[in-house]
Chain A
């Protein structure tokens, strides 16, 4: 019995591929499995081919795994368009619709021989049973359930709900199609198949969420009551979710004319005393950067989410990447220190978004949440958690007696000065992007500029001590290290387990605060380290380079960085770690692998 199953499926538009994936992940959540699913679409806007890749497991899912265990092709041409997303390996069972009529020997899987290739008359079964080739996905669900032990009852109840509106008849016919798939599977056992181990049903049902929606929900909990944004893949679901939900809480969403106006409106709302957010992806971030500088110098709280995609320029909208780190940290003129946080999973973006609001309010600063397309759009099972356990921070407003002699940008030891807002009598001040004195008066005096720059930077120093924004795994004194952030951190976590199993002594650091760089935390972590990898989905190895600006990263620690074309796998990280370990044993520094 398997503990874990990776399924990939592709078909033409209208084949219901995504619906099948969603039925599976819902059934997984209901039955207590852990699961993660990503969808991919072809280049056509409508009616194009689509695919999903889903991993179900009895244990928490940290990545989408390596090669598929099961590949379902409703159509070969469509399947092969997702070559990188749906990698077939030597252990894969390939199931295809016999209607597509490709002989086994012709299956062009770039030299890889899958474990088993099975043709099923999927289209025919759908037509016979439902009288409609649109039910192919239901047949496939039955096949998967029969061959791999996926929870039939939960899938069936999902189907029932889905088709309830269309009447009993439709429900019944889809049930028949599902059962026929199950029966077919039983009558044609797989040579190499094996079923997924059952799990004890959880009392609290797991939830299913995508990162963008989670982010929006967290913003509401954090107290966000204004959102200004402009649509851009893969961030748009944040705005869409908030337009639906935020008005219920007395908040307002502005779909602005562009990203500059979106962030500008959010800054205006924050100036008016309301917690505000904007969200976008790389190109939008580029446009927002002047405004972010304004929020920094005017010392206004603001949360700005960047759901990264492949860049530069318009790049690849649908490919997730981690190549906007430099932009998040440095895209501003002048001396700007701006907190950058990164979530590691769908569940994690909830806490990270709340934390971003808390930091923004506490320090009166814009905060960037560096999410990515993977976290933003994939679906994941999430264990229910206590929403009330997250502390919510409010900005330090002047008390009524402080308003008598109020100074907005007062130089305080912490660098934070109480902030008033329109409506507060006595708190009147001039906020500006122009350098200003403590009272807010514009100035060109170099000495004031120096003082104010120091104030704005100093107030963020306490962040660097926030150990709670770092996760450490593995053995404390290990000589080998992994550092990884964002959606790739889960892959590094799997690599750690694999590496330990192979006898390597490794530890892993996952920073969720990327900037300001927490120098002491890294220094302590690197103390025992002689070699290792800083893993991320970019070309330049941006975190590796950033850390080297602030910390003495040991020479043996090299970047393992690759843009989004081919996902990074735990296995290749372990292979590289082994190589480093061998080199270290020989007493030589390893040759750095070329940055690809």
Chain B
């Protein structure tokens, strides 16, 4: 039995550099709470991120952290999990990190169903580089790279991850931290790839209209709405409303989880182990016919 862990056991000595009031503070607290509830000690956790304000997050926890490069936390997290499946692996980053530069990786981690929990802090803007358009910014948003309003519509992270076939798709907000912590915990417990989109507003460059106001006013709990999280078509319909309504909770949770790639790899190891030539004999592979 592990000694009971508390959220503070996951709090590192580093002081966050986020702007006071940034939504990411709440995400951090929620993650710390969720990890305490899970009860794995910090040294058994690998927490990987990309680059952006949000991606600073692993350093503020006591887990093994890896603050990598822009857009690439998922490949690195997958390498960790495949190499050492016994670790608890978390990945996190911003909407730009995950759906713009790193967008190509999302489909593939889903398709491999590697047991990683991926948390995107979706502020619908580029925070770290000071207020450029993001792939989730609403059409018409004025930003430093769209001074007359953007010409492009947003990507829908919930819908795309659902469509890729993810087994766990949820959305939360730091405005309801306890619920967010629960979602993260649930995602970690889900035995496969889990995606949690967090509506985490940027109070410095973000759009107050598009996100801040809406967040408080239009927040609706999916369960309260009577949504059954095993209903995939229902999940699609609700996810369609990304950008107009702020639903929180689990959109979809596959009732029977599919095998993970690391699990299948372990089976393959067991199946082929006997066939390994001893190292000293490896040159036998090159014997002429």
Residues of chain A having any CB pair with chain B under 8 Å: 25-26, 29-30, 158, 161-162, 205-209, 213-214, 217, 220-221, 225-226, 228, 245, 247-250, 252, 254, 256-258, 260-262, 264-274, 276, 290-291, 293-294, 298, 382, 384-388, 421-434, 440-442
Contact = CB atoms under 8 A, between A and B. Distances in A.
Contacts of B288: 25-26, 29-30, 205-208
- Judged by DSSP, the binding face of B is helix
B104 A266 contact: no
B84 interface: yes
Contacts of B269: 247, 250
**5 interchain residue pairs of minimum CB distance:** A268-B79, A264-B75, A265-B79, A269-B83, A207-B286
Interface stretch (B42-50, B117-125, B209-217, B244-252): B42-50
Contact of A433 (B51, B62, B86): B51
A251 B288 CA distance: 27
A423 B86 contact: yes
Nearest to B76: A268
Contact of A265 (B45, B78, B279): B78
Given A257-B105, A261-B108, A430 B65 contact: yes
A276 B276 contact: no
B271 to A, nearest CB: 8
Contacts of B280: 386-388
B17 to A, nearest CB: 8
B108 A226 contact: no
Contacts of B65: 429-432, 440
A196 to B, nearest CB: 18
Contacts of A248: 272-273, 275-277
Given A29-B288, A208-B286, A257-B108, A431 B79 contact: no
10 contacts: A162-B289, A208-B288, A226-B79, A250-B269, A268-B75, A269-B80, A276-B83, A294-B68, A387-B280, A425-B43
B22 interface: no
A337 B40 CA distance: 38
Contacts of B224: none
A268 B108 contact: no
Given A250-B269, A268-B76, A422 B43 contact: yes
B102 to A, nearest CB: 9
Interface of B: 14, 41-46, 48, 51, 56, 58-59, 62-69, 72, 74-84, 86-87, 104-105, 107-108, 262, 265, 268-269, 272-273, 275-277, 279-283, 285-289
Contact of B82 (A158, A226, A294): A226
B234 to A, nearest CB: 30
A430 B67 contact: yes
B283 A387 contact: yes
A563 to B, nearest CB: 31
Given A250-B273, A268-B76, A269-B82, 18 more contacts: A207-B283, A208-B286, A220-B279, A220-B282, A226-B79, A228-B79, A254-B78, A257-B108, A268-B81, A269-B79, A298-B66, A382-B286, A387-B283, A423-B86, A428-B64, A430-B58, A430-B65, A442-B56
A422 B67 contact: no
B32 to A, nearest CB: 14
A551 B287 CA distance: 44
Contact of B44 (A207, A266, A423, A442): A423
Nearest to B59: A430
